[in-house]
């Protein structure tokens, strides 16, 4: 008997929480470098059988006018954080964000392979190409790399990383103590990659990892981003604000898989959902309002400017409309379209739009009872708008505990989500096959 | 009353052990990607109050003729490994090797700062410049960077990393929930480094770490290496094969500190010692002999060739003498001198020299009873040949347990080594001051 389709859940961990004002909430520890809080969140998510923890990243600290009034300047580096969390968890997947624009494929391949070994097959790489000029300036460049070039680099980068992960046959390491043969030379493949952006000999100095290859996650939704995802990604994290747009995105991306010889089950689409749970709808709304009240208008507007593609909106009146902005070349066109749409539909002022995105940051926002939230998730899941969700909560770890103890049981009751882990690796949780090694 | 001078101990962790044939020993788990073994070793070292764990590194896997007959092809990446170990230990320092030749300072500064936060102030960076052409070929280059250029780059790299570690005042993060001020802008220093090798804006996206700066370790013993160490290092790891040479190195390096305005206590010199312990001398010798018998002559000779500067010695007769070799430009001149000296003094054949270095790899080798070993360590320590030692054992974790349970108690009995940790950070263990931040 085949298992009915099950939804997947990722827990998005972001220091004090996803809401920009979370750190100001009296129940939140405002220190973003508090490992104990991360450990608690990881254990909550694992007890609820989440597929994975997701950790975002940037290789720069913002220093604009409102940076000192948000908690986003400093945080743990994802690979070190996830490695530490691997030692205090048993089953949950560990997905870390690393940019291809300011890294070398050998280091990235190696660190994720190492994490996959350390965690017994729970590593995932969220491949991003970065979206801030500030990052470029920490790596010898004046300006951010243009979108097309970033994606060309990312594509070759991914190819090199995959080739390095396949440096060794799964059974290469015979470790025969008696004969003295440690590995079978026939099980070694030297990549010898020479391309436009990279020249990497190999082999990787890590054995093929428990998952064969760590799970590849992506989030780009531009045309180029979708093509890269269709060719290579196994999970896509996306921001969709309505079931209709989620369904369109889902159909589009799944429809692209065939030309790369891939089946639609080989890529899981997981929109972000920003969730505030209450025992009653009124309680949930009041909880959300508490966070919203803590948002300074200037902070909300500055956050909005960043999300639109690093625009400085501080010169525009707070009670005026969102000004018309040039479509940026360097990154956030899809977000820009989305937010412009929301502002128009709801007739929001600049300050209102800023506050509006302070929690969900463009992700679908659900504020309600466990039943209401489960209904919505179920509708998206069964309506082919999502294979699962990345759950974003206003504050950590408490917001995650609310979701884990109130919404997850309801999803389990409906037969939509596991009550215990069936497998041990992230691939097994997600229902993804362990890839073979094409070199052997 | 001031504490009498205490020696420092580092536990050198290298997969199956330091002896090249360790993986073939029947009591050794031959899997170099066995986290459980590392955890056991870490706990043994911590129970014995070692100052730190040391993890070596290379960013390439050897693929020469004998690579398949040694266990050095694959292993954990140091930062991910040490982050995982940080979660299962409480006090012991965590020193990881990272090369400056094939990295970017922002990533290195960030990862060690993150580890320092994750571990509550236990991180150390062993700065190396790499010594293998194979590493260059994984990062877009044809050949290894020449020695002088490597050190020029390393020197600027260290300066950038230190500047990034000092991006924030220790008290910058006020996190005032009521007023909404997260950090005090006066506590932010934007580095804006522009140099010959690097252009790095900053700030680092990690707060100043518990130790102020992670501890800086180095191992270079060339003239350039000693100067860099005298100016910047806080621990120096070195290979010395006699008390006289250790004393000369110690006096030389400590003598260079003054011109950089540093006191001799600000740099701890820790030679490596390769130790095989037995209840009797005969038992120790027999134990050592067991490992030596497992060394295939070709493997020993190839290891020798690598240590001499990546020479292929496979064409020379095994029973002939060490051939005269050109002094290499790209790295291992000091090791080359040392090994040539040993071969001459002891009249060893190529195969014998290869087997000779298979265990200690040029480090001082002590095979004997706990009393004999403690005598020798004490003589070096009191004779100003060492401030402490990096302990290399033939096999892990068992060899470390021998040292921890037999030699350490003897050192403690003599008042030379702590019986419990007095501090919580690696700096406190080593007796190194927490550095101030020159920008504030």
Average pLDDT over residues A131-158: 91
Q: Give dist(CA B212, CA B425) in Å, integer.
A: 11
Q: Note whether residue B323 is domain-resident.
A: no
Distances (CA, A) of A71 to A16, B275, B381: 8, 49, 48
Nearest Cα neighbor of B59 from B124, B138, B129 is: B138
Does the annotation place A57 within a ligand binding site?
yes
Question: Residue B59 and residue A205: Cβ atoms within 8 Å?
Answer: yes
Question: Residue A74 and residue B207: Cβ atoms within 8 Å?
Answer: yes
Set of chain A residues whose Cβ sits within 8 Å of the Cβ of B190: 63
Q: How many domains does the structure of chain B reveal?
A: 1
Return the pLDDT at B303. Answer: 86
Option in B117, B141, B181 nearest A69 (CB) = B181
Return the pLDDT at B332. Answer: 63
State the smallest CA–CA distance between residue A92 and chain B in angstroms. 15
Question: Residue A68 and residue B110: Cβ atoms within 8 Å?
Answer: no
Average pLDDT over residues B308-329: 82
Give the DSSP H or E segment for A84.
helix A78-86
Q: Please indicate if any CB of chain B lies within 8 Å of the CB of A196.
A: no
Range of the domain at B129: 8-276+360-430
pLDDT band of residue A336 (cuts 50, 70, 90) is confident
Q: Note whether residue A251 is domain-resident.
A: yes
DSSP string for residues in B63-115: -STTGGGSS-S----HHHHHHHHHTT-SS-EEEEEEESTTS-HHHHHHHHHHH
Question: Residue A59 and residue B110: Cβ atoms within 8 Å?
Answer: yes
Return the pLDDT at A381. Answer: 98
- State whether the Cα torsion A282-A340-A146-A214 is positive or negative: positive
- Specify whether the backbone of B121 is left (phi greater than 0), alpha (psi in -120 to 50) or beta: left
Q: Any idea what the CATH number is for the domain that residue A284 is in? A: 3.20.20.30
Q: Among residues 69-108 of chain B, which lie with CB inside 8 Å of chain A?
A: 69-71, 73-77, 79-81, 83-88, 102-104, 106-107
State the smallest CA–CA distance between residue A390 and chain B in angstroms. 25
Q: Identify the weakest region by mean pLDDT among A190-204, B17-31, B139-153.
A: B139-153
Query: Is the per-residue pLDDT at A303 higher than 90?
Result: no
Would you say A78 and A55 are in contact if contact means Cβ atoms under 8 Å apart? yes
Over residues A342-364, the pLDDT tens digits come to 888 888 999 999 998 887 787 89
Average model confidence (pLDDT) for chain B?
94
Q: Are strands B215-218 and B199-200 parallel, antiparallel or unpaired?
A: unpaired
Q: Note whether residue B402 is domain-resident.
A: yes
Does the annotation place B222 within a ligand binding site?
yes
Q: Note whether residue A101 is domain-resident.
A: yes
Which residue out of A72, A201, A358 would a mutagenesis test of the B interface target, given it has the greatest number of B Cβ atoms within 10 Å? Answer: A201
pLDDT band of residue B1 (cuts 50, 70, 90) is very low
Return the pLDDT at A25. Answer: 96
Over residues A76-115, the pLDDT tens digits come to 999 999 999 999 999 999 999 999 999 999 999 999 999 9
Q: Give dist(CA A33, CA A74) in Å, integer.
A: 8
Average pLDDT over residues A148-171: 97
Average pLDDT over residues B157-173: 98
- What percentage of residues in chain A have a pLDDT greater than 90? 82
Set of chain A residues whose Cβ sits within 8 Å of the Cβ of B80: 79-80, 83, 111, 114-115, 118
Option in B23, B84, B206 nearest A83 (CB) = B84
Q: Note whether residue A1 is domain-resident.
A: no
Nearest Cα neighbor of A360 from A391, A321, A389 is: A391
Query: Is the per-residue pLDDT at A1 higher than 50?
Result: no
Return the pLDDT at A332. Answer: 64
Does the annotation place A334 within a ligand binding site?
no
Q: Please indicate if any CB of chain B lies within 8 Å of the CB of A43.
A: no
Strand partners, B272: B390
- What percentage of residues in chain B have a pLDDT greater than 90? 82
Over residues B39-90, the pLDDT tens digits come to 999 999 999 999 999 999 999 999 988 899 999 999 999 999 999 999 999 9
Q: Identify the weakest region by mean pLDDT among A24-28, A247-251, B346-350.
A: B346-350
Option in A58, A113, A183 nearest B73 (CB) = A183
Return the pLDDT at A338. Answer: 76
Return the pLDDT at A288. Answer: 96
DSSP reduced 3-state for A43: helix
Q: What is the ipTM of this complex?
A: 0.96
Average pLDDT over residues A302-327: 84
Return the pLDDT at A328. Answer: 63
Return the pLDDT at B295. Answer: 94
Distances (CA, A) of A93 to A76, A230, A426: 18, 22, 5
Over residues B340-380, the pLDDT tens digits come to 888 888 889 999 999 988 877 878 999 999 999 999 999 99
* Residue whose entry in the numeric block shows the structure tokens 């350390």: A118
Return the pLDDT at B327. Answer: 67
Question: Residue B70 and residue A182: Cβ atoms within 8 Å?
Answer: yes
pLDDT band of residue B328 (cuts 50, 70, 90) is low
State the smallest CA–CA distance between residue B164 and chain A in angstroms. 10
Q: How many contacts, defined by CB atoms under 8 Å, are there between A and B? A: 218
Q: Note whether residue A367 is domain-resident.
A: yes
Return the pLDDT at B3. Answer: 65
Query: Is the per-residue pLDDT at B35 higher than 60?
Result: yes
Q: Note whether residue B288 is domain-resident.
A: no
Average model confidence (pLDDT) for chain A?
94
Question: Residue B138 and residue A85: Cβ atoms within 8 Å?
Answer: no
pLDDT band of residue B144 (cuts 50, 70, 90) is confident
Over residues B96-121, the pLDDT tens digits come to 999 999 999 999 999 999 999 999 99
> Most distant CA pair in chain B: distance in Å?
79
Does the annotation place B57 within a ligand binding site?
yes
Average pLDDT over residues B265-277: 97
Burial environment of residue A293 by CB neighbours within 10 A (0 to 12, 13 to 18, 19 or more):
exposed
Query: Is the per-residue pLDDT at B264 higher than 90?
Result: yes
pLDDT band of residue B315 (cuts 50, 70, 90) is confident
Set of chain A residues whose Cβ sits within 8 Å of the Cβ of B180: 24, 69, 294, 296, 299
Q: Please indicate if any CB of chain A lies within 8 Å of the CB of B33.
A: yes
The pair of three-digit structure tokens given for residue B368, joined into one six-digit string: 């004997």
Q: Note whether residue A27 is domain-resident.
A: yes
- State whether the Cα torsion B198-B202-B204-B208 is positive or negative: positive
DSSP string for residues in A224-288: HHHHHHHHH-SEEEE---SHHHHHHHHHHHHHHHGGGT--GGGSEEEEEEEEEE-SSHHHHHHHH
Set of chain B residues whose Cβ sits within 8 Å of the Cβ of A141: 199
Return the pLDDT at B173. Answer: 98
Q: Please indicate if any CB of chain B lies within 8 Å of the CB of A181.
A: yes
State the smallest CA–CA distance between residue B235 and chain A in angstroms. 23
């Amino acid at each position: 008997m085949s298992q009915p389709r099950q939804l997947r859940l990722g827990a998005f961990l972001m220091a004090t929480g996803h809401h920009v004002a979370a750190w100001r909430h009296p129940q939140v520890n405002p220190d973003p470098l508090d490992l104990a809080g991360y450990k608690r969140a990881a254990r909550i998510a694992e007890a609820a059988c989440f597929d994975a923890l997701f950790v975002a990243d940037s290789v720069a600290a913002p220093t604009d006018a409102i940076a000192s009034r948000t908690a986003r300047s400093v945080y743990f580096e994802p690979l070190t954080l996830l490695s530490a969390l691997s030692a205090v968890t048993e089953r949950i997947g560990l997905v870390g964000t690393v940019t291809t624009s300011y890294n070398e494929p050998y280091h990235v391949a190696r660190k994720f392979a190492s994490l996959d070994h350390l965690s017994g097959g729970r590593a995932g790489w969220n491949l991003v190409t970065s979206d801030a000029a500030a990052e470029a300036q920490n790596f010898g460049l004046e300006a951010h790399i243009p979108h097309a070039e970033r994606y060309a680099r990312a594509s070759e980068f991914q190819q090199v990383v995959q080739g390095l992960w396949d440096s060794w046959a799964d059974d290469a390491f015979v470790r025969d103590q008696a004969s003295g043969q440690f590995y079978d030379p026939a099980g070694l493949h030297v990549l010898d990659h020479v391309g436009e952006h990279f020249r990497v000999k190999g082999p990787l100095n890590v054995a093929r990892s428990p998952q064969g290859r760590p799970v590849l996650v992506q989030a780009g939704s531009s045309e180029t981003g979708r093509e890269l995802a269709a060719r290579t990604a196994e999970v896509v994290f996306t921001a969709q604000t309505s079931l209709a747009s989620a369904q369109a995105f889902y159909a589009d991306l799944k429809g692209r898989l065939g030309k790369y010889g891939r089946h639609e089950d080989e890529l899981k689409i997981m929109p972000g959902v920003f969730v505030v749970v209450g025992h009653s709808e009124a309680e949930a709304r009041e909880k959300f309002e508490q966070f919203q009240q803590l948002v300074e208008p200037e902070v909300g507007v500055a956050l909005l400017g960043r999300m639109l593609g690093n625009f400085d909106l501080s010169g525009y009146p707070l009670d005026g409309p969102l000004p018309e902005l040039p479509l940026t070349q360097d990154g956030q066109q899809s977000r820009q379209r989305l937010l412009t749409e929301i502002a128009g539909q709801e007739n929001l002022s600049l300050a209102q739009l800023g506050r509006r995105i302070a929690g969900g940051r463009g992700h679908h926002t659900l504020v309600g009872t466990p039943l209401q939230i489960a209904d919505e998730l179920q509708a998206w899941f069964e309506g082919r708008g999502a294979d699962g969700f990345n759950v974003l909560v206003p504050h950590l770890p408490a917001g995650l505990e609310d979701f884990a103890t109130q919404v997850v049981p309801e999803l389990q009751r409906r037969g939509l989500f596991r009550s215990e882990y069936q497998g041990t690796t992230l691939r097994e949780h997600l229902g993804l096959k362990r890839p073979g090694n094409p070199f052997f």
